[in-house]
Structure 1
Amino acid sequence: MKQQSSVSKQPRLVLANTFAFAPNRDTLGATAYFIVENESNILVDCPAWNEINQTFLDSRGGVRLLFLTHRGAIAKAREIQEATGCDILIQEQEAYLLPGLQVTVFERELAVSDRITALWTPGHSPGSSCLYDSGSGGVLFSGRHLLPNREGAPVPQRTAKTFHWPRQINSVQSIIDRFSQSTLQYICPAANTGFLRGRGSIDRAFEQLTNLDLAVCLQSKPEP
């Protein structure tokens, strides 16, 4: 039984060169992702920091960059940096939460590579951000900015801890304005992944975002 449990916790391939980790208790059950780019591997948010995940990352060339989508994803960032030697990228308003670490900050947007861009999408938290990968038809690692609802469609989710709801709605509109059906095919969310019913990502992402009525979203009440 112990062997089966260990196997079940292995990261799984969800898109080409992209793996999802098992939900992490330290980040309230959030899902972290790993983008394999040869010597430029990127970890999106913090997975549980255990032997299984460390061995997995080492076996695929280690981690060059840890991108944190928001303050709630920090978890064991210090331990990950100490073990892997990676840099950490976070929006400038939340960098103060990482004292003593090697951190790169950005204001609104930062080109991480020819394929990957960090985007500031405030609202869920002051420094809430997404990571965009132009590969595979366009993939947005949305943190908690956009999450699947019970039907598996991407939506902004208002909670009692949401920093600024109107800004979050504006950030959703900025994503819609920036992308198109040909440049945004998938969303990899950090939470509510059980609503995807075994699928590793939200597909037809841009199409589904354009179906959102943001005026109605703006009037929604906080969820518990």
Structure 2
Amino acid sequence: MSVASTQPLPEGRPPRQVQEHLWLFAPNRDCMGGSAWWLETADGGGVLVDCPGLTQANLSFLSERPAGQIVLTSREGHGRLRRLQSSLGWPVFVQEQEAYLLPGLAVETYGAEQHLAPGLRLRWTPGPTPGSAVLLADAQTDQPAVLFCGRLLSPVAPGQALPLRTRRSFHWGRWIQSLQDLQAWIPADPALQLASGAGLGALRGEALIASFQEQLTRLDLAALRDQPAP
């Protein structure tokens, strides 16, 4: 056992509830300030989308859940997954292109698409990284459908998100193609909300981007494709 795995965890603060079935964790510095989410599902379980900071508050919150699954939207969301998964014992779903990054960890892999449970669908959206993916959660009582997009789309202003190309980005052309495919894949739902896995500071205190489907369909992909590399 490593020294790091025996050290006490920082206390931290628990995730904040943003809707009846949805919680947002504090930015995770192990994921470059990325955002992880907990979605409570209709069957009484839930889904942890990406890895939150490894703190006592977060681990206590998750340990109190009756059951769960962990979904990774890209290699940028792994954080300290190994220790978290060993504490919770939950299955981990990762797109097959990035399973090699988790040697020795039992993971469930998928290709183009995976149905996790009724109302929960994963789709491969390469571009930000080779194994980037999104998770679509159907609407629940008093809660619209939510698209957990990882780093595919990042907040740039209140109520707005765009693909943000960086020096770490895998392939810009495939990224734009993934967005085009996503436009066709997302069901017609004007109330669809976006939950990004990037930093959310540009949202000025908000957690979600509401009514996102129209914004997604209006993306000028041709103009985005022609953007120069950073």
TM-score (norm 1): 0.91
Determine the structure 2 residue equivalent to 1:40.
45
- Deviation string for 1:105-148 (max 9, x for gaps)? 00000000001011100000000001110123321100001111
Shift of 1:200: 1.4
- 2:113 pairs with 1:114: no
- 2:58 pairs with 1:53: yes
- Helix, strand or coil at the partner of 1:202: coil
Shift of 1:184: 6.0
- Helix, strand or coil at the partner of 2:26: coil
| Larger helix percent | 1
* Segments of 4+ moved more than 6 angstroms: none
Determine the structure 2 residue equivalent to 1:205.
212
- 2:72 pairs with 1:65: no
Residue 122 of structure 2 aligns to which amino acid in structure 1? A
- 2:91 pairs with 1:87: yes
- 2:183 pairs with 1:179: no
Determine the structure 2 residue equivalent to 1:196.
203
* Whole-angstrom CA distance in 2 between matches of 1:96 and 1:142: 22
Preserved CA contact (<8 Å) 2:190 2:212: no
Query: Structure 1 residues 70-79 or 144-153, which shifts more?
Result: 144-153
Residue 47 of structure 2 aligns to which amino acid in structure 1? I
Residue 215 of structure 2 aligns to which amino acid in structure 1? Q
Determine the structure 1 residue equivalent to 2:144.
137
* Whole-angstrom CA distance in 1 between matches of 2:190 and 2:116: 17
- Deviation string for 1:36-71 (max 9, x for gaps)? 12543211000011101011112233x521100001
Distance 1:7 1:48, change over 3 A: closer
* Whole-angstrom CA distance in 2 between matches of 1:180 and 1:104: 26
- 2:106 pairs with 1:102: yes
Preserved CA contact (<8 Å) 2:12 2:56: no
Preserved CA contact (<8 Å) 2:151 2:196: yes
- Helix, strand or coil at the partner of 1:176: helix
* Whole-angstrom CA distance in 2 between matches of 1:104 and 1:180: 26
Shift of 1:179: 1.9
Measured on the aligned residues, the alpha-carbon RMSD in Å equals: 1.8
Shift of 1:16: 3.0
- Helix, strand or coil at the partner of 1:199: coil
**Any gaps of 5 or more consecutive residues in structure 2?**
1-9
Determine the structure 1 residue equivalent to 2:26.
22
Shift of 1:181: 4.2
User: What number of residue pairs does the alignment pair up?
Assistant: 217
Determine the structure 2 residue equivalent to 1:77.
81
* Whole-angstrom CA distance in 1 between matches of 2:163 and 2:119: 25
* Whole-angstrom CA distance in 1 between matches of 2:162 and 2:146: 16
Determine the structure 1 residue equivalent to 2:170.
163
**Any gaps of 5 or more consecutive residues in structure 1?**
1-5
